[in-house]
Amino acid sequence: MAKRSATITEGLDRAPNRALLHATGLPREDMDKPFIGVVTSFTDLIPGHIHMRRLERAVERGVHAGGGFAFTFGVPGVCDGIAMGHSGMRYSLPSRELIADIIEAVTNAHCLDGLILLTNCDKITPGMLMAAARLNIPAVVVTGGPMVSGRRKTRKLSLVRDTFEAVGRRKAGKITDDELTCLEMEACPSAGSCQGLYTANTMSCLTEAMGMSLTGCGTSLATHSLKDRLAYLSGSKVVELVNNGVTARKIMTRDALENAITVDMALGGSTNTCLHIPAIAREAGVDISLDLFDEISRRSPNITKLRPAGDYFMEDLEYAGGMPAVLKSLKSLLKDAPTISGPSIHEIADAAEIYDDDVIRSLDNAYSKEGGIAVLRGNIAPDGSVVKQTAVGDEVKRFTGTACVFDGEEPAMKAILDGEIKPGMIVVIRYEGPRGGPGMREMLSPTSAIAGLGLEGSVGLLTDGRFSGGTRGLSIGHISPEAAAGGPIGLIENGDKIEIDIPAREMNLKVDESVLEQRRKKWQPPKPRVTSGYLARYAKLVTSGVTGAVMKDE
């Protein structure tokens, strides 16, 4: 494979370029080595990223040991937990596009030969994978790893159940102020991504499943030295990939992406993958539709019950054998795709061992016959919507309720905490889609408050926004078309009956079509909430949630 970096290092007319490279500390004898960009998302703002300075050092040592030269540059990150519940969440999903664009710009401007993508949290991992697929150069992803569980006495704690849901429990008088303070202090005890199978950890697992990170990287814990060793080996590996001409699209094939969806369904991962995998696939030149998620879910049994769906933590998955053990259980459902590690997916599965067959169950002893996500359609969501069905109680998988409608998250949250939401209601939060939000905010605060109040078995929630991977209960998102685009969710009124049938994959507003037509004639598009800056540009170019909320090319 011809080195891209030769463009800036070879020839008489590149003397100025070489002079500037020497100014960075590059020795003359290293000028012909592969140039490896170490793309870091280190920041003091995100617990999942605060330890990355040490991982950067490990990666750099690996790159140099492998015969390359490392150049570090940064990309921004948003902590979804800190951005949750206010206007800052509008920037989370749009930051995915920024990250991909920044990596493209820096990599191409400096003719880098390969990339190490040091990532961890929610939108950063898919943004980096999008860039790798778009650039189609050798790349290795190093995910920063999960946080260890917190402790209160002997009870294990996690962020979502023990802080977000604790808000509802405190409002209901189930815990005291002192108990809430203790949970705040103890729920997140270290660096790392939040401890359950939320979006960050789901994407880490799927990155390993699609072959773009080294075996074992997806679940290895942030604070353990194994992560440092994997970072070192990743640095060496990317130089090998450059020398052998193994580019990202040779790994991110359709088979690899379908394997990732299969693993996602079997794990019961975050619904945000319905946005991220299609976006990654698009950059790789592969067409992945929302219907494929449902098709694969129907044939992929759910073999784990990690939080929020169950009580196991990411550390339990790691000690049960990690992703290799998951691949072993799922081998008959997976295609034998290549990986950057060297062994194929089936070879990795064959070499693995399952150490706890309740954390990682066999296909014939699965927690449920179907996978984690279901795609629902009907007159509310003609283009589709998504629900994490494995985190929904059986008592509400078929549910008819009365609509309680809110044009935004904040009034809905106030009503929930003020006790206005009663059993039998379906909270409808609209104008929070990709365009209308803008930015398709996560609704973890409302869904967690409902759970904390003890209403998750008797109240539903529908939105054209999206959910955190930590959401549980009857929560249906990504409703498309969104309200701001004239979708039927914008026609729902207080008191309307809504019928949901997850097993049948249906969701319908029980209002006569003639009545809906009258409402449609009166409907007016809302004024944009944001009229300047990045979010205003994003709102003009973003597509529907069912297509991954990607940016149009023009």
Strand partners, 118: 40, 142
Report d(CA 277, CA 257) in Å as an integer: 7
Report d(CA 372, CA 337) in Å as an integer: 23
3-state secondary structure of 262: helix
Report d(CA 66, CA 529) in Å as an integer: 50
Find how far residue 59's CA is from the centre of its chain.
24
Residue 468 annotated to the active site: yes
Decide: 253 and 239 in contact? Cβ < 8 Å.
no
What are the start and end residues of each CATH 3.40.50.2300 domain in the chain?
Answer: 33-148+190-351
Q: Name the fold adopted by 33-148+190-351.
A: Rossmann fold (3.40.50)
In this prediction the pTM is 0.97
CA 493-391-412 angle, 5° bins = 30
Could you identify the residue written with the tokens 């991962």?
A: 269
Report d(CA 380, CA 511) in Å as an integer: 11
- 423 CB-near residues (< 8 Å, 6+ apart): 455, 458, 459
Closest CA to 467 of 501, 440, 497, 502: 440
3-state secondary structure of 35: strand
Report d(CA 284, CA 116) in Å as an integer: 18
DSSP 11: S
- 246 CB-near residues (< 8 Å, 6+ apart): 138, 340
Pairing of strands 373-376, 460-463: unpaired
What integer pLDDT is reported at residue 352 of this predicted model? Answer: 98
Superfamily of domain 374-547: IlvD/EDD C-terminal domain-like (3.50.30.80)
Closest CA to 331 of 201, 209, 207: 209
* DSSP H stretches of helix in 187-298: 199-209, 225-244, 248-251, 254-267, 273-283, 290-298
> For the purposes of burial, counting CB atoms within 10 Å of the CB of 206, is it exposed (0-12), middle (13-18) or buried (19 or more)?
buried
Pairing of strands 398-406, 384-388: unpaired
Q: HEC string of 120-147?
A: CCCCHHHHHHHHHHHHCCCEEEEECCEC
Tokens describing residue 351: 């070499």
Q: What CA–CA distances, in Å, run from 113 to 70, 139, 230?
A: 10, 9, 21
- 10 CB-near residues (< 8 Å, 6+ apart): none
What integer pLDDT is reported at residue 99 of this predicted model? Answer: 98
- Residue numbers in the chain where pLDDT is lower than 50: none
Closest CA to 466 of 544, 538, 397: 544
Tokens describing residue 466: 């999206």
Report d(CA 141, CA 314) in Å as an integer: 19
Phi, psi for residue 301 in degrees, rounded to 5: -60, 150
Closest CA to 448 of 81, 160, 79, 92: 160
What integer pLDDT is reported at residue 145 of this predicted model? Answer: 98
Report d(CA 499, CA 378) in Å as an integer: 10
Which of 158, 270, 445, 468 is the catalytic position? 468
What integer pLDDT is reported at residue 222 of this predicted model? Answer: 98
Tokens describing residue 509: 């507003």
What integer pLDDT is reported at residue 553 of this predicted model? Answer: 83
Phi, psi for residue 341 in degrees, rounded to 5: -65, -30
What are the start and end residues of each CATH 3.50.30.80 domain in the chain?
Answer: 374-547
Decide: 500 and 460 in contact? Cβ < 8 Å.
yes
Decide: 83 and 92 in contact? Cβ < 8 Å.
yes
CA 305-308-309 angle, 5° bins = 40
Give first-to-last CA distance, the chain, whole Å.
Answer: 33
Report d(CA 116, CA 130) in Å as an integer: 14
Tokens describing residue 301: 């049994």
Amino acid at residue number 346: H
Q: What CA–CA distances, in Å, run from 480 to 64, 157, 298, 465?
A: 48, 35, 22, 10
Report d(CA 167, CA 161) in Å as an integer: 10
